Structure 1
Amino acid sequence: MTDSATLETPTETNRTPTRPDRTRLLLEGPVLPTLLRLSAPTIALMTFQAVVNAAEGYFIGFLGSDALAGISFSFPLVMLMTTLSAGAYGGGVASAVARALGAGRRDEAARLAGTALAIGTLLGVAFTVVMLIFGRAIFASLGATGPVLDAAVQYSDVLFLGAVPFWVFQSASSCLRGSGNTSYPAFVGAIGGVVTLAVSPALIFGIGPLPGLGLAGAACAVAGYNLVSAALLLRALRSPGTPFRDAFAHFRPDRIRTAAILRIAVPSAFNTIQSNLTFLALTALVAPFGTAAIAGYGMGGRLEFLLIPVVFGVGSALVPLIGANVGAGNHARVRQATRAGLLFGAGTGAAVGLTAAVVPGVWMGLFTNDPAVLATGASYLRTVGPAYIGFGSGLALFFATQGSGRVIQGLAAAFTRLTVAAVGGYLAVHTFGCGLDTLFWVMALGLVLHGCVMVVVARRELGITRR
C-alpha cells in the first residue's frame, strides 16, 4: 500500500495560503455533507440529461429502426468525446486546479484555466476533422451498412461540427468544479437541456412552414446547446470572486501547466478509450445477429453510458474534494472522501442496474415497440443490469484516483474489462458458436471484475482501509 505521506503536500512557501471560501469548504467542511452538497447539482443535471437523451431516442424512434441502429453506431463515439472531455481531460483540469487552490496558489489556478481552455479548443478541432474525414469509414468498419450507415454519418457529421464549443464548455466547467463550484455548470446544463427538449422535435419533424431535418435536426439541437453553454461558462470564469479572472491572459498551452493537466488526463483518457473500445467491440460482435439485435443492444447498452454521467456527479465532487485535501496535505480526509465515493458509486450502479433488470420494458419502451428490438434489449438488461454495481464502484474509485493525481494503476480495471468482454465475447460467439445470451453474460463478468480491480487499486493508492 502506498504510504499516505508520499501524497503531494504543500511547499514551504504555501504554509499560510489564502483560499477562496469554496476551497475552505473542501478542506474543512464535514466530508459526507460536503460530498452531498457538491455532487447534488451535478447528479440532478446528469439525471435530467439522461431524460433528455432518452427523449431524443424516443423522437428518433419515429424515424424507424434504421435511424435507431444508426445512432447506436454513432452513440459510442459521441460518448467517447463526452467522457474524454468531461471525465478524462476534465478530471485532469479539475484535479490540477483543486490541488493548486488547496495549496493556496490562486495565480496558478488562473494559469491552469487558461491552458485548459487552449488545449480544449485544439482537441475540439481535432475531433471535428477526424470525424468529418473518417466517420463513414469508422462506422463501416464496425459493421454498419446501407441505410444504417447513412443514418450514422448523417447524425455524427452535424454533431461533430460543434465539437469545439463542446470541448470549451467542458474545460470551463471543469475549472469551476475544481474550485468547488458545481452548481453553476449544473444550472447552465439544466437550462440547455430544457431548450434542447423543446427544440429537438421541431428540428427533427419540422414545424409550420419549416421542414424537418430528421437525424440532422437532432444533432443540430445538441450542437446549439453546446455553443450557448460554452458562452455562459466562459462568462462565469470572468465573474467577480472567481480565481480565474486572469485565465484569458494565459490562453495558450503553457508547457508546465499542460504537463500538470495531461499527467492525469492522458492515463484517464486511456481508461476512457478502453471503456469505449469495449462498447464498440461488443457492438461489432452483436452486428452479425442483425439490425434488430444491434438496435436492441444499442438502446439497452445506452443505459450503461447514461450511468457514467450519473456517477460522474459523484466524481465531480470527489475530484475537487480529494484534490484540494491532497494539495493541503489532509490525508485522513482523502481516505474518508474515497470511502464515501465508493458507497455512492456502488449504490447508484445497484439502483440503476437492478431496476432495469426487474422492469427492462420500461427503459426499452421509451425507444421502440418493435418486438425483436425489445426482446434483445430486455435480455441484455436482465443479464448485465445487476453487474452495474461493479461498474459504478469502479468508476467512482477512478475519479478518486484522479483527484489524488494517481491514476496509472486504475488503467488495469478498464483493461481487465476490455480483455474479458471483448476477447471472451469473441471466443464465445466465433469459436464456440454461442448466442447473444452468452455474450451478455460475458459482458456482465467484465463489469464485475472492473469493480473488483479498482477496489484493490484504491486500497494500494489511497489507503481506503486505513483509519
Structure 2
Amino acid sequence: MTQTGQKPSALKRFFSLLKQSLNGENIDLTTGSIRRAVILLAIPMMLEMMMESVFALVDLYFVGHLKDSSFAVQTVGLTESVLTVIYSIAIGMSMAATAMVARRVGEKDPVAAAKAGMQAVIVAIAINAVIAVAGVIYAQDILVLMGSSKHSAAFGAPFTRLMMGGSFVIMLLFLLNGVFRGAGNAAIAMKSLWIANIANILLCPLFIKGFGPVPAFGLTGAAMATTIGRSMGVLYQLYNLFNGKGVLKVSLAYFKPHWEQIKALVKVAAPGIMQFVIASCSWIFLARLVAETGDDEGSAGYQSALRIMMFFMLPAWGLSGAAATLVGQNLGAQQVDRAERSVWVTAKFNVTYMALIMGVTLLAADPMMWFFTNNPHVHDIAVKAIRILSAGYVFYGMGMVLMNAFNGAGDTKTPSRVNFVGFWLFQIPLAYLLSIQVDLGPVGVFIAIPVAETCMSIASFILFKKGKWKAVKV
C-alpha cells in the first residue's frame, strides 16, 4: 500500500516484478501466487533463450552477405543441424540437472542440490569429449553426409571443425544454466547469455571482415566469434557457482565422481537425452531431404527460415521452462496440486505468446528475409517455409510446456516416447512421402513439420492429464 492508502498501479507492480526477476533474488517458489512465480521465472528464461537464438541470427546476417553467401548460409545451417546432437545431450543433461536440483531445493537441501548439479557436469563433459573429437576429424565428411555438395563441404569444413571442437562450451553453457534454473535463479542463466551474445556481436564483424591487424577469416570467423563469446558466458557461470552468494554453494570437492549419484542422474538423463537426440536426428534427416530436393539454394532458404523460427520459438521454450522448475520444486515440497496448476498457468502464457508470433511471422516474413539474404531464390524459399511452419505455432506453445513439465517432474521417458512416435514414425515418413512421392520437394518437408508437431502436442496433453508424472521419484 502507498502512503495514500491506494494500491500501486499495475505498471508499478509490473516493473517491481521485472526488477526482482532480473536481479535474480532467491525466492520460495512453493508458496504465494503461481502467476507471480511463473512471471518471475519466465522473464529471465525468455530473455535467456532469446539471447541463445541471437547467436544464429548474428551469424546468419554476416555470412548471408559474404561473396559465397549460399554456400556460407548452408554451411552454418547444416553445422547447426549436426550440433543439435550436442544440443540434445546438453539439453537432456540440463533437464535432468534441473529436475534433481529443483527437487532438492524444494526439499530444502541446497547442499545435495549443488552436488547433483556438479555430477551432471562430469557426465556431460565426458560424453561431449568423444563427439567433439569425431567432429573435428570428420568435419567435411559430415557436411557431405548431410547433403552438401563437395565444393560447399570443402568451403565450410573449417567452420564446422571449429564449431565441433569448441562444442564443450555449448555443453557447459546449457548445463550450468539448467542447474541455475533448477535452483530458481534464472537471472544468472540469462546474464550468461547476454555476456556471450554481446561478445559474439562485437567479434563477428571483426573476425569475418577483419579490421586493422586482425585478418578477415570469412565464414570461419563466425565460428571463432561464437566460440569465444560462449566461453565468456561459461566463465561468468563458473564465477557465480563459486562465489558462495546464491542458493547453490559449490566447492571443488563436489566434482569428485559420486557413482551412486551419477547412476541416479543418468537414469533420469538418458531418456531426456534420447528425446532430444530423436528430435535432432529427425531435423537432420529433414535438412538432408531439403538439400536433395532443393539443391544448395533450397537448403540455404530452409536453414534461413529455421533460424528465424528458432529466434521466435526459443523465448517460448524459455517461458515453458518455468513449468519445469515449478513442477520440480513443488513436487519436492509435496504440493502436487500446485505443481499441476503451475503447468496450466504457464501454458496459458505460452500459447498467447505463440499466437502473437504466428501473426507477426505471417505478415512480416517477406521483408524480414530480405534483411538476412540478398539472394532472391533463397529469399523466396525461406518466406514460403516460414509461413508454412508458423501454422503450428499455437500447438508448439502448448507442447513445449507439457514436455518441460514432464522433464521437471523427472518423467523423461514420456516425452521420449512421444518424440519417437511423432518424429520417426510419423514426421519423417510424411516428409518423405510429400517431398519425394507426391513430388512437392522442399514444400512437402515444410508441411510435415507443423502437422507432426500438432499431433505430438495433442498426445502430450492426453498423457499429462493421466497424471503418471506425479508419482515419479528422482
One-letter code of the match for 2:362? A
Equivalent of residue 130 in structure 1, options 114, 128, 134: 134
The Cα shift of 1:52 comes to 4.1
The Cα shift of 1:291 comes to 1.3
Is 1:249 matched with 2:253?
Answer: yes
Aligned partner of 1:68 in structure 2 is 73
Is 1:155 matched with 2:159?
Answer: yes
Aligned partner of 1:293 in structure 2 is 298
One-letter code of the match for 1:373? V
Deviates more, 1:320-329 or 1:263-272: 263-272
Is 1:199 matched with 2:207?
Answer: no
Matches within 5 A, 1:350-369: 350-369=355-374
Matches within 5 A, 1:327-406: 327-406=332-411
The Cα shift of 1:83 comes to 4.3
Deviations 1:167-186 (A, max 9, x none): 23333222221111111221
Deviations 1:46-103 (A, max 9, x none): 2244344312211001222111111121111223323431x32111101101101111
**Counterpart-to-counterpart distance in 2, 1:246 and 1:329:** 26
Tell me if structure 2 keeps the 8 A contact 1:70–1:150. Answer: no
Matches within 5 A, 1:272-311: 272-288=276-292, 289-311=294-316
The Cα shift of 1:249 comes to 0.5
Deviates more, 1:417-426 or 1:199-208: 417-426
Structure 1 gap segments, 5+ residues each? 1-20
Is 1:412 matched with 2:409?
Answer: no
Aligned partner of 2:43 in structure 1 is 40
**Counterpart-to-counterpart distance in 2, 1:156 and 1:285:** 20
Deviations 1:135-187 (A, max 9, x none): 32222122112332124422121122222233233332222211111112211
Quote the sequence identity (%). 19
**Counterpart-to-counterpart distance in 2, 1:34 and 1:377:** 38
Deviates more, 1:156-165 or 1:244-253: 244-253
One-letter code of the match for 2:427? A
One-letter code of the match for 2:441? G
Aligned partner of 1:5 in structure 2 is none
Deviations 1:342-389 (A, max 9, x none): 223323333333321222113322321211111111111122212122
Aligned partner of 2:449 in structure 1 is 443
The Cα shift of 1:280 comes to 1.2
RMSD between superposed Cα atoms in Å: 2.2
Tell me if structure 1 keeps the 8 A contact 2:81–2:287. Answer: no
Change (3 A) 1:55 1:246: closer
Tell me if structure 1 keeps the 8 A contact 2:290–2:298. Answer: yes
The Cα shift of 1:316 comes to 3.2
Equivalent of residue 457 in structure 1, options 451, 463, 469: 463
**Counterpart-to-counterpart distance in 2, 1:265 and 1:308:** 23
Tell me if structure 2 keeps the 8 A contact 1:113–1:244. Answer: no
The Cα shift of 1:22 comes to 6.7
Tell me if structure 1 keeps the 8 A contact 2:65–2:374. Answer: no
Structure 2 gap segments, 5+ residues each? 1-23
The Cα shift of 1:334 comes to 0.7
Is 1:100 matched with 2:84?
Answer: no
Tell me if structure 1 keeps the 8 A contact 2:324–2:407. Answer: yes
Aligned partner of 2:3 in structure 1 is none
Change (3 A) 1:328 1:274: same
**Counterpart-to-counterpart distance in 1, 2:467 and 2:391:** 28
**Counterpart-to-counterpart distance in 2, 1:190 and 1:169:** 12
**Counterpart-to-counterpart distance in 2, 1:281 and 1:423:** 11
Change (3 A) 1:207 1:143: same
Aligned partner of 1:14 in structure 2 is none
**Counterpart-to-counterpart distance in 1, 2:206 and 2:79:** 22
**Counterpart-to-counterpart distance in 1, 2:358 and 2:286:** 19
Aligned partner of 1:57 in structure 2 is 60
One-letter code of the match for 1:370? N
Aligned partner of 1:316 in structure 2 is 321
One-letter code of the match for 2:445? L
One-letter code of the match for 2:30? L
Tell me if structure 1 keeps the 8 A contact 2:268–2:411. Answer: yes
Aligned partner of 2:6 in structure 1 is none
One-letter code of the match for 2:426? V
**Counterpart-to-counterpart distance in 1, 2:345 and 2:306:** 27
One-letter code of the match for 1:236? N
The Cα shift of 1:32 comes to 1.1
Equivalent of residue 432 in structure 1, options 415, 438, 442: 438
Calculate the TM-score normalised by the size of structure 1. 0.89
Aligned partner of 1:9 in structure 2 is none
**Counterpart-to-counterpart distance in 1, 2:256 and 2:72:** 41
| Structure 1 outlier segments of 4+, above 4 Å | 21-24
Tell me if structure 1 keeps the 8 A contact 2:125–2:171. Answer: yes
Aligned partner of 1:18 in structure 2 is none
**Counterpart-to-counterpart distance in 1, 2:400 and 2:205:** 33
Change (3 A) 1:350 1:263: farther
